[in-house]
Amino acid sequence: MTEDQARQQITSLTGKINHYNYKYYNENISEISDFEFDKMLEELIKLEDEFPALRLPDSPTLRVGGTINKSFQTVAHKHPMLSLGNTYSRADLEEFDQRVAKGLGTNDYEYFCELKFDGVALSMTYRNGLLVQGVTRGDGTQGDEITANVKTIRTLPLRVDLPELPDEFEVRGEAFIPKKVFLELNKSREEAGEETYANARNTASGTLKMQDSAMVARRKLDCYIYSYLSRTSPGTHEKGIHMLEKAGFNVSPTHKKCKGIEEVLQYIDYWETRRFDLPAETDGIVIKVNNTDQQQELGFTAKSPRWAIAYKYQAESALTQLKSITFQLGRTGAVTPVAELEPVFLAGTTVKRASLHNANEIKRLDLRPGDYVYIEKGGEIIPKVTAVELSKRPANSQPLDYIRQCPECGTLLERKENEVIHYCPNKKGCPSQIKGRIAHFIHRKAMDIDSLGEQTIRLLYENGLLKDPSDLYALRYEDIIQLEGFKDLSSNNLLQGIENSKSRPFKNVLFALGIRYVGQTVAEKLTAHFQSVDSLAAATFDELIAVPEIGERIAQSIKDYFTDPENEREIDKLREFGLCFVEDQKKLTGGNDTLKGKTFVISGVFNNYSRDELKEVIKQYGGKVVSSISSRLDYLIAGDKMGPAKKEKAISLEVEIITEDEFDNLLK
């Protein structure tokens, strides 16, 4: 391909992909399948790698990150990012309104109200339509330049094309981790044996300061834009917001223009409970004088504008009884105390339990079973105990003695230096840890043995058939058929599911091992860097921390894991059973035009290929994989557990259905 051809193709792909991105992330419209989108992105990445000078400044490949920053440059804000005065009092809002009227000498003004999202304030500069700089708020006068990280936010335009916008302008917004993403992130950390994050706001802040923008991209940050700044003012804040909406910026549709303070108070009442249904956390309302000339007339104090104020909602709290404190044991041996509560309705849901985190938190609150306690939702997501109502404490109440022994196996608990968590050290003999490790091993993002569940793990463990993950691969038909609830079909399905898991790539196997602090993303980084388990095991501490985002705690955990002889023996067993401990062990080479012009749909689970490998084979032999069945489809490759709907549709359209072996014969 010539350079001119490459330039045309890169320009075309960049425009198309940015269009599809905008439709998907801003309008929730999928105009093409994920597979087609991924193929276009792959083609663009390949072209940009071959012709790096032709990469456009608004290339969608910037969304996936990859830039490594060892430090962030401090830059000054052109316009100071002042903090707002805030209040929890409606009377204060009325006083604010009186000050505005007095300062303007008239009652002829309007307010513009917006929900106050609990995230990280950012400033983005656009020049000639392109996003050229992203900066944190910092101290208000200067902040950290984090442009590479900001560009990973998919709802933030990399290029805007609107005639009304000047050559250079600035937008400000609130970056946040959506509630759903935050819960998923904490779930994955819990599975990796890591401490969960306390709130989404601090997590978003830490994410934006990560050195590797690829890691930032994985956190799926979002951003609501709330302000437009340029040399010329649009006249009102409302006009600026509408212009940003028209240009394709992600503006929360919850804003409203209000004619007076009474309408402002009605707006506050309207969102007091409805805000819990929004995708982002909120903690209040921002009220601004709408007219920008009037804003200038009112001016600023040393710290904040006189034309704006933030009203903070009181954190919703409920009083209920603490019935008992129970203790949960994770697969890493970490003990977590849990408050068992008299059910109480709070912020849209019924709360029955709340994490107490550790012994220090119980001691700080002086919690005792039978106490009446106040419950809040931390960041409106996670319930937490905030205080004890001492006036309701029974006279015979006694301080709680934190448990000293494992609630599962009775082993004395340990507490490592500089850590607040108690651990059960009996990792090879504690039933809860053994079953927890195996449940993690079979997880969908690990070995993906979907025919095996926690109930079956319990049965296998109680029958002496399962103490380590490697024992799964030694199971026989006669071991399983005698278990309660198992018959011929379910026994064979389980064995087949275990056999299929051997095709999982090294990154999944490493995650499945359950090394403390090595979650899915860390496992991917380690496998990409070291390529094999032997290289990883032999890595020095300094070599480990040289990998982006691998800190001292993770590095030490990896060193501890691989110096344990029992772990070495377990890896050797798994290796003998055929699990993959080398990156790209099954990478396919060769290929020809045997499948040229043929289209395929893949459905089900296969013995000799993962689904991704099967797609790669089809591509290398000239074929194409599509996501849906139509009369134009050539083949449906049917694996185990294929959906019946796809099969029925293929039959009705007379599409040829082939097995994995028949597909191999096509290649020959």
Tell which phi-psi region holds residue 584, choosing left (phi > 0), alpha (psi between -120 and 50) or beta: left
Whether 103 and 297 have beta carbons less than 8 Å apart is answered as yes
**Distance from C-alpha of 603 to C-alpha of 606, rounded to nearest angstrom:** 9
Name, in order, each residue with C-beta under 8 angstroms of 385's C-beta and a sequence gap of 6 or more: 322, 339, 354, 356, 365, 367, 373, 374, 375
- CA angle at residue 196 from 194 to 199, to 5 degrees? 155
Whether 439 and 454 have beta carbons less than 8 Å apart is answered as yes
**Distance from C-alpha of 249 to C-alpha of 409, rounded to nearest angstrom:** 56
Q: Strands, E, within 275-427: which ranges? A: 282-289, 308-312, 317-329, 334-346, 349-355, 372-378, 382-388, 414-415, 422-423
- The count of C-alpha atoms lying within 13 angstroms of the C-alpha of 197, restricted to the half-sphere facing its C-beta, is 22
Work out whether strand 142-144 and strand 414-415 pair parallel, antiparallel, or are unpaired.
unpaired
**Distance from C-alpha of 251 to C-alpha of 627, rounded to nearest angstrom:** 33
Kind and range of the H or E run holding 565: helix 565-576
Q: Order of strands across the sheet with 130-136?
A: 130-136, 120-127, 168-176, 222-229
**Distance from C-alpha of 411 to C-alpha of 312, rounded to nearest angstrom:** 48
The closest of 176, 151, 490, 114 to 310, measured between CA atoms, is: 114
Give the orientation angle of helix 179-191 with respect to helix 200-208, to 10 degrees: 80
Q: b/e map of 516-555 (b: 16 or more CB within 10 Å)?
A: bbbbbbbbbbbbebbebbeebbebeeeebbebbebeeebb
- CA angle at residue 646 from 644 to 649, to 5 degrees? 110
- The residue type found at 540 is T
- The residue type found at 598 is K
| 3-class secondary structure per residue, 134-157 | EEECCCCCEEEECHHHHCCCCCCC
Let me know if 46 is a catalytic residue: no
Q: Where are the alpha helices (DSSP H) in 221-328?
A: 237-247, 261-274, 292-298
**Distance from C-alpha of 369 to C-alpha of 176, rounded to nearest angstrom:** 37
Whether 292 and 234 have beta carbons less than 8 Å apart is answered as yes
Backbone angles phi, psi at 35, to 5 degrees: -65, -45
> CB atoms < 10 A from the CB of 605, how many?
20
Residue of 70, 78, 116, 467 marked catalytic:
116
Whether 391 and 401 have beta carbons less than 8 Å apart is answered as no
**Distance from C-alpha of 222 to C-alpha of 203, rounded to nearest angstrom:** 13
Catalytic positions, written as ranges = 116
